[in-house]
Amino acid sequence: MNKTSISLKTGEHWLASPTTRVLAALIIVFVLGLLFNADGAFFKWGTHRDMLRAVSVYGILACGMTLVIISGGIDLSVGSILALTAVCFSLFTIHYQTAVILAILVCLVISSLCGIMSGAIIARFKIQPFISTLAMMVFARGLAKWVSGGQKISTAVQQADGTYQYVEVPGVFNFINSKLLGDNITVVTVIFLICIVISYIILTKLRYGRYLYAIGGNEEAARLSGVPIIKSKLLAYGLSGLFCGVAGICQAAQELQGDPEAGISYELSAIAMVVIGGTSLQGGRANMWLTLIGVLTIGYLEKILSINAIGEDKRLMLTGAIIIAAVLLQKTKK
Amino acid sequence: MKKNFVLAVLCAVLCWAGCKKTTPQAAPGTETKNETKKWTIGMSQCNLGEPWRVQMNADIKMAADQHPEISVVFKDAQNDTLRQQAQVEEFISAGVDVIIISPKEAAPLTPVVAQAYDKGIPVIVMDRRVLGDKYTCFVGADNKKIGRAAGRWIVQKLGGKGKVVELKGLMTSTPGQDRHNGFMEGIKDSQIEIIFDADMKWLEPNARKEMESALARFPEINLVYAHNDPGAHGAYLAAKAAGREKDILFVGIDGLQQEGQAYVKQGLLSASFEYPTGGKEAVEAAMTLLSGKTVEKEITLASRVFTKDNIDAGGEWLSE
């Protein structure tokens, strides 16, 4: 009697581990892909490579989003900051022909500053993250439109007399857009994986990572035990901004232009990916690998719907249903 | 304490900004400027998110700059129907001489346009229609006709048969529906086969994703018909990444100078069909109205097709 209950318990424990539950959602989606393989398209590596490419920009945003959500916050401004960086990066590299390293650095500084600004308002003035980053979402979108004059910044450069002159696509765009390892993985995917690893190191190897968990778990307790709340929060939103900058550069390179309208509603996709990864929106609980699985789950779902040419109406309904199913899977029984 | 200080600084800044504003009003230059501007045109644009609409405003501004006696006040409704209603009401109470509106939706904007029309203010409606006939004139192009022309052009280009991918604009919007229905009419009696279609919602990243799926699924694709040029460009980039851009032709719609025309010039798209903004025509109509003459109720804009062969000559006008 006792024995069986123990084995049952350990069995439950194994099934109850967050990783298993999050993986289960991914496996279900993957099996769907195997069943509905669109005449074998799902069995080609190219399909998976393309899925990884398409999901990379969202994934990079999800890295920053995970850090912020762990601290008990949320960042709604990621899509707008992405657009702002995409526009700035295109302006620097296409129009002004700035050195690539300098352009990247300036863009990352701009995006980090946007994040730090939200962070400062949240930490210093105790404004709710939802409101503060909502304001930044609107502000950064406006800034992106203002900087670009409402037009896409592309290789067609308008001259003073209204005519257009066509310039070459900068080399850095082509590099980010290219593939590595015998055409098997895109550069953006590699950048995404690097972002995942960096976030993982921040969360598990640095003292700062434990600060974030502590603040998200119980801010008052963290403050009493000497965690520098304001600095930590500033850094969390700054890092989220930094990742937005990286994503924006990737977005510009993939579109060969800086679109001030890019990234609209990307924040919702990023949040969905983090949540499917089992992260609680109340903070204090998350894991970078689980976010990666969340990213892959959404990525595969979109890819399977796309290769089967499912209509938009059914796509939205199925996506909604899968998100709910995935979150329900993670709900621990009490 | 610190909070009070911040508040004080904010107040000071606001006061300073407020004071600053009064200075240019007192400047003598502005008054004379107002005297030379005899007429005011109020322009309400439903949103400035789409490059095409930015272009429409730019065209209106460029045409208006030719006439020193008119000034144009631009308002952006940011895709908000109620805001656009309010903007027209503001124009009425400001007493502008002509209203140009590119409405977001027909039904909710019909009453306020009629209100202006009844008060004797000429209203020029652009691109999307309002209901009834209480407006002065409508300026717009015909999406269905353009879709049909694209269909016929594609039939001719492919010799009557081939495998086509259709990347649709937002299919809940009328331009998306018209560009699709017109296209289907255009290819009706041919052996053109649509092997893959998807709703890319006018957005380039979506078009690229969908095209990747089409490429993974079909080893042979002859042509991509996208409902706008960014969609065609996204499809081109996907094909290029797969090393198949040389085997596929790409056709888009809109033909903006910095988008569709540029892509044709660079050899990325085989053709781009112009969807003219009508900005210039609207200002011309306004000038005619202001000089006391009447204009036609319907001004249908002609469109051009841009291909590699005719782009340097400024495109070719579509017959029909």
Q: Where are the domains of chain A?
A: 42-330
Q: What is the pLDDT of residue A45?
A: 83
Closest A-chain CA to B259: A156
Beta bridge partners of residue B42, listed in sequence order: B73, B99
Q: What is the pLDDT of residue B98?
A: 94
- Which of these ranges, B15-24, B34-43, B201-210, has the smallest mean pLDDT? B15-24
For residue A100, the tally of other CB atoms under 10 A from its CB is 16
Higher pLDDT residue, A174 or B3? A174
Q: What is the pLDDT of residue B174?
A: 81
Q: Hey, is the C-beta of B205 within 8 angstroms of any chain A C-beta?
A: yes
Measured CA angle at A143 (ends A141, A149), to 5 deg: 100
Cα gap A156→A162, rounded to integer Å:
11
Q: Cβ(A234)–Cβ(A123) under 8 Å?
A: yes
Architecture in CATH for domain A42-330: Orthogonal Bundle (1.10)
Please report which confidence band the pLDDT of residue B23 belongs to, taking 50, 70 and 90 as the band edges: very low
Domains located in chain B, CATH noted: 37-141+277-301 (3.40.50.2300), 143-275 (3.40.50.2300)
Cα gap A278→A268, rounded to integer Å:
16
Average pLDDT of chain A? 86
Closest A-chain CA to B57: A150
Which residues in chain B touch residue A145, judged by CB atoms under 8 angstroms apart? Answer: 48
Residue B287 is encoded by which pair of tokens? 């000038």
- Determine, for residues A164 and B258 on separate chains, whether the beta-carbon distance falls below 8 Å: yes
- The whole-angstrom distance between residue B109's C-alpha and the CA centroid of its chain comes to 18
Please report which confidence band the pLDDT of residue A256 belongs to, taking 50, 70 and 90 as the band edges: confident
- What is the torsional sign of CA A265, A270, A276, A282? negative
Q: Nearest Cα to B139, choosing from B198, B59, B49, B218?
A: B59
Chain A 168-207, residues with CB within 8 Å of chain B CB atoms: 177, 179, 186
- Which of these ranges, A95-99, A245-249, B49-53, B100-104, has the smallest mean pLDDT? B49-53
**pLDDT over threshold 70, residue B3:** no
Buried b vs exposed e over B19-53: b needs ≥16 C-beta within 10 Å? eeeeeeeeeeeeeeeeeeeebbbbbbbbbbbbbbb
Interface test with A, best of B52, B258, B261, B264 (most A CBs within 10 A): B258
Chain A 101-160, residues with CB within 8 Å of chain B CB atoms: 145, 150-152, 154-156, 158
Q: Cβ(B148)–Cβ(B157) under 8 Å?
A: no
Q: Hey, is the C-beta of A223 within 8 angstroms of any chain B C-beta?
A: no
Which residues in chain A touch residue B238, judged by CB atoms under 8 angstroms apart? Answer: 50
- Determine, for residues B212 and A312 on separate chains, whether the beta-carbon distance falls below 8 Å: no
Q: Nearest Cα to B232, choosing from B168, B175, B141?
A: B168
Measured CA angle at A304 (ends A302, A308), to 5 deg: 115
Report how far apart, in Å, the C-alpha atoms of B81 and of each of A100, A137, B107, B110, B118 are. 43, 22, 10, 11, 21
Q: What is the pLDDT of residue B17?
A: 47
Q: How many contacts (CB atoms, under 8 Å) link A and B? A: 90
Q: What is the pLDDT of residue A152?
A: 84
Q: Hey, is the C-beta of A82 within 8 angstroms of any chain B C-beta?
A: no
Which residues in chain B touch residue A302, judged by CB atoms under 8 angstroms apart? Answer: 209
Chain A 51-80, residues with CB within 8 Å of chain B CB atoms: 53-54
Q: Hey, is the C-beta of B191 within 8 angstroms of any chain A C-beta?
A: no
Q: Hey, is the C-beta of A219 within 8 angstroms of any chain B C-beta?
A: no
Q: Nearest Cα to B275, choosing from B308, B227, B312?
A: B227
Nearest CB partner across the interface for B204, out of A47, A177, A255: A255
Q: Hey, is the C-beta of A259 within 8 angstroms of any chain B C-beta?
A: yes
Closest B-chain CA to A167: B266
Q: Nearest Cα to A147, choosing from A137, A135, A139, A156?
A: A139
Residues in Cβ contact with B133 at an 8 Å cutoff, skipping those fewer than 6 apart = B297
**Which tens digit of pLDDT belongs to each residue from B86-139?**
999 999 998 899 999 999 888 888 989 999 999 999 999 998 888 888 999 999
- Determine, for residues A311 and B212 on separate chains, whether the beta-carbon distance falls below 8 Å: no
Which residues in chain A touch residue B204, judged by CB atoms under 8 angstroms apart? Answer: 255, 259
- Determine, for residues A156 and B213 on separate chains, whether the beta-carbon distance falls below 8 Å: no
The predicted model gives B10-30 an average pLDDT of 44
- State the first-to-last Cα distance of chain A, in angstroms, to the nearest integer: 22
Interface test with B, best of A306, A315, A319 (most B CBs within 10 A): A306
**pLDDT over threshold 50, residue B70:** yes
- State the first-to-last Cα distance of chain B, in angstroms, to the nearest integer: 75
**What is the value of ipTM here, to two decimals?**
0.79
**pLDDT over threshold 50, residue B258:** yes
Residues in Cβ contact with B84 at an 8 Å cutoff, skipping those fewer than 6 apart = B44, B46, B77, B101, B103, B104, B109
Nearest CB partner across the interface for A151, out of B51, B210, B241: B51
Per cent of chain A over pLDDT 70 is 94
Q: What is the pLDDT of residue A3?
A: 42
- Determine, for residues A311 and B266 on separate chains, whether the beta-carbon distance falls below 8 Å: no
Burial bucket for residue B17 (CB in 10 Å: 0-12, 13-18, 19+): exposed
Please report which confidence band the pLDDT of residue B224 belongs to, taking 50, 70 and 90 as the band edges: very high
Sheet arrangement for strand B316-317: B191-199, B161-168, B223-226, B249-254, B271-274, B304-307, B316-317
Torsion, Cα of A95, A96, A98, A103 (10° steps):
-70
Q: Hey, is the C-beta of A98 within 8 angstroms of any chain B C-beta?
A: no
Interface test with B, best of A48, A51, A151, A186 (most B CBs within 10 A): A151
- Determine, for residues B217 and A256 on separate chains, whether the beta-carbon distance falls below 8 Å: no
**pLDDT over threshold 60, residue B289:** yes
Residue A333 is encoded by which pair of tokens? 């029984």
Which residues in chain A touch residue B242, judged by CB atoms under 8 angstroms apart? Answer: 46
Q: Hey, is the C-beta of B234 within 8 angstroms of any chain A C-beta?
A: yes
Nearest CB partner across the interface for A307, out of B54, B205, B216: B216
- What is the torsional sign of CA A182, A187, A190, A192? negative
Higher pLDDT residue, A330 or B158? B158
Residue B178 is encoded by which pair of tokens? 């018209």
Q: How far is A331 from chain B (nearest CA, A)?
A: 32
Interface test with B, best of A255, A264, A269 (most B CBs within 10 A): A255
Per cent of chain B over pLDDT 90 is 57
For residue B170, the tally of other CB atoms under 10 A from its CB is 16
Measured CA angle at A185 (ends A243, A102), to 5 deg: 40
Q: Cβ(B133)–Cβ(B117) under 8 Å?
A: no
Torsion, Cα of B7, B12, B18, B21 (10° steps):
-130
Which residues in chain B touch residue A54, judged by CB atoms under 8 angstroms apart? Answer: 205, 208-209, 212
Q: Cβ(A259)–Cβ(B204) under 8 Å?
A: yes
Nearest CB partner across the interface for A41, out of B201, B217, B237: B217
Q: Nearest Cα to A170, choosing from A251, A103, A256, A86?
A: A256
Residue B241 is encoded by which pair of tokens? 């990444």
DSSP conformation class of A153: B
Q: How far is B269 from chain A (nearest CA, A)?
A: 15
